[in-house]
């Protein structure tokens, strides 16, 4: 499968020493938030394959979709700017604050099309792609999160990268855990595990939809890659930590992110990685995680912090700290 090199790879794996000691586990973090700056996060690994296909097909215009603060859309805008491709982003939602990923979308030169949250993003994508085609553009369409057959190869490749790093670190991860927002990253890791005959537990934490919806989506993706798979019972999605909804963070959740950042020097985002890592730790506390060697993949999202969420973190920090010297 053709790919184009866009990310800083391989991304490092570090041990979270304080949490490992606290829970008597070996808890490691794969820093896929280090894949780049403008392209930071897991999405650029998928784009390495999607954009390669677009270039092979002589496409000069990329159209993709996502939420208002989509990490995928921001990464796509950055890649298109780098490669001289016209970029159109179909974003659901309305502007509250012009910041984070939305700011980067604009400064990277993307064409932004806002649609209501109850719109069918697939229909909107097709509509805009059709108009661009009528204007003579050679259009390449990328679905939400680049979670389709071609994009999934980015995380099949990541799984093999992890195996190589295990050898260097002299460790075998029993469990690999990730946030799940569109299914492609999980599908790639699961397939890498399946294809190599390994028995690692691949545990995903949903940030938006039910585990049933994601399992169906993941199976659909896997079927397009390998139609000889017969059993999918090791697909493991936990949907108990979505909280109040996609991209919404409660004060309790924000306090957890503050604690992790101040203790381990790692900042998770309140939409994807934060929810998933909190879910992982809560499951460890409940005794539901039996595995000892755990790898969590940090899929980025630092640009997704909203003004409101940052204000609450400020309040939390002020409450925890003393000005006395």
| Burial of residue 261, with CB atoms counted within 10 A of its CB: 0-12 exposed, 13-18 middle, 19 or more buried | middle
Q: Are residues 211 and 238 in the same domain?
A: yes
Whether 81 is in a domain gets the answer yes
- Tell me the mean pLDDT in the region 294-321: 93
Question: Does 323 have pLDDT greater than 70?
Answer: no
Pick the last residue of a domain from 93, 115, 146: 146
Domain boundary among 146, 171, 187: 146
Residues 131 and 273 in one domain: no
Asked if the model's pLDDT at residue 96 lies above 90, the reply is: no
**Cβ neighbours around 10 below 10 Å, total:** 18
Catalytic residue at 70?
Answer: yes
| Residue 3 resides in a domain | no
Range of the domain at 112: 43-146
257 and 165, same domain (yes or no): yes
219 and 315 share one domain: yes
Q: What is the pLDDT of residues 277-297, one digit of tens each?
A: 999 999 999 999 999 999 999
Residue 207 domain flag: yes
CATH, residue 49: 3.40.50.1100
The residue out of 146, 175, 206 marking a domain boundary is 146
Q: Based on the domain organization, do 158 and 172 belong to the same domain?
A: yes
Mean pLDDT within 120-127: 92
Identify whether residues 215 and 246 lie together within a single domain.
yes
Would you say residue 255 has pLDDT above 70? yes
- Burial label, 282 (beta-carbon count in 10 A; 0-12, 13-18, 19+): middle
Residue 8 lies in a domain: no
pLDDT digits (tens, 9 = 90+) for 34-68: 999 999 999 999 999 999 999 999 999 999 999 98
User: Does residue 136 form part of some domain?
Assistant: yes
**Active-site entry in 70, 147, 177, 206:** 70
Examine the pLDDT at 192 and tell me if it is beyond 90.
Answer: yes
pLDDT recorded at residue 325:
59
How confident is the model over 122-144, as a mean pLDDT? 96
pLDDT at residue 322 tops 70: no
Give how many domains the chain has, as a whole number: 2
Same domain for 114 and 182, yes or no, is no
Give the chain's mean pLDDT.
Answer: 95
Q: Within this chain, do residues 269 and 282 fall inside the same structural domain, yes or no?
A: yes
The burial of 101, by beta-carbon neighbours within 10 Å (0-12 exposed, 13-18 middle, 19 or more buried), is given as buried
For residue 324, what pLDDT band results from cuts at 50, 70 and 90?
Answer: low
What is the model's pLDDT at position 93?
85
pLDDT in tens, 147-191: 999 999 999 999 999 999 999 999 999 999 999 999 999 999 999
Give CA separation, 106 vs 89, 142, 255, in Å: 10, 19, 31
Establish if 141 belongs to a structural domain.
yes
122 and 155 co-located in one domain: no
User: Rounded mean pLDDT of 103-115?
Assistant: 96
Residue 187 maps to a domain: yes
CB 148 within 8 A of CB 53: no
* % of the chain residues with pLDDT over 70: 99
C-alpha separations of 148 from 35, 43, 221 in Å: 20, 12, 6
Average pLDDT of the residues in 78-87: 98
Q: Tell how many helices (H) and how many strands (E) occur in the chain.
A: 11, 10
The two beta strands, 26-31 and 13-15, are antiparallel
Question: Domain for residue 188, yes or no?
Answer: yes
Q: Does one domain contain both 36 and 105?
A: no
């Amino acid at each position: 499968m053709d790919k184009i090199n866009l990310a800083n790879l391989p991304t490092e794996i570090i041990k979270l020493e304080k949490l490992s000691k606290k829970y008597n586990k070996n808890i490691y973090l794969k820093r896929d938030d280090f894949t780049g700056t403008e392209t930071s996060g897991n999405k650029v690994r998928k784009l390495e394959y999607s954009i390669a296909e677009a270039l092979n097909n002589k496409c000069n215009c990329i159209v993709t979709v996502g939420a208002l603060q989509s990490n995928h859309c921001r990464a796509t805008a950055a890649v298109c700017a780098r490669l001289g491709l016209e970029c159109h982003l179909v974003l659901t939602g309305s502007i509250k604050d012009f910041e984070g990923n939305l700011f980067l979308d604009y400064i990277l030169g993307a064409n932004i099309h806002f649609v209501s949250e109850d719109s069918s993003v697939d229909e909107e994508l097709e509509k805009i792609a059709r108009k661009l085609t009528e204007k003579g553009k050679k259009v390449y369409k990328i679905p939400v999160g680049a979670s389709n057959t071609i994009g999934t190869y980015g995380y099949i490749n990541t799984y093999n990268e992890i195996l190589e790093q295990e050898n260097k670190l002299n460790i075998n991860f029993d469990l690999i855990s990730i946030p799940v927002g569109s299914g492609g990253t999980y599908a790639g890791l699961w397939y890498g595990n399946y294809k190599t005959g390994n028995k690692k537990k691949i545990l995903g934490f949903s940030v938006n939809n039910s585990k049933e919806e994601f399992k169906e989506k993941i199976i659909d993706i896997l079927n397009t890659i390998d139609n000889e798979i017969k059993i999918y019972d090791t697909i493991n999605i936990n949907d108990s930590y979505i909280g109040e909804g996609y991209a919404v963070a409660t004060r309790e959740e924000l306090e957890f992110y503050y604690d992790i950042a101040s203790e381990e020097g790692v900042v998770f985002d309140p939409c994807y990685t934060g929810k998933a890592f909190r879910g992982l730790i809560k499951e460890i506390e409940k005794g539901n995680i039996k595995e000892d060697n755990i790898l969590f993949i940090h899929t980025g999202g630092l640009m997704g912090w909203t003004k409101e969420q940052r204000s609450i973190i400020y309040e939390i920090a002020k409450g925890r700290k003393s000005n006395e010297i």
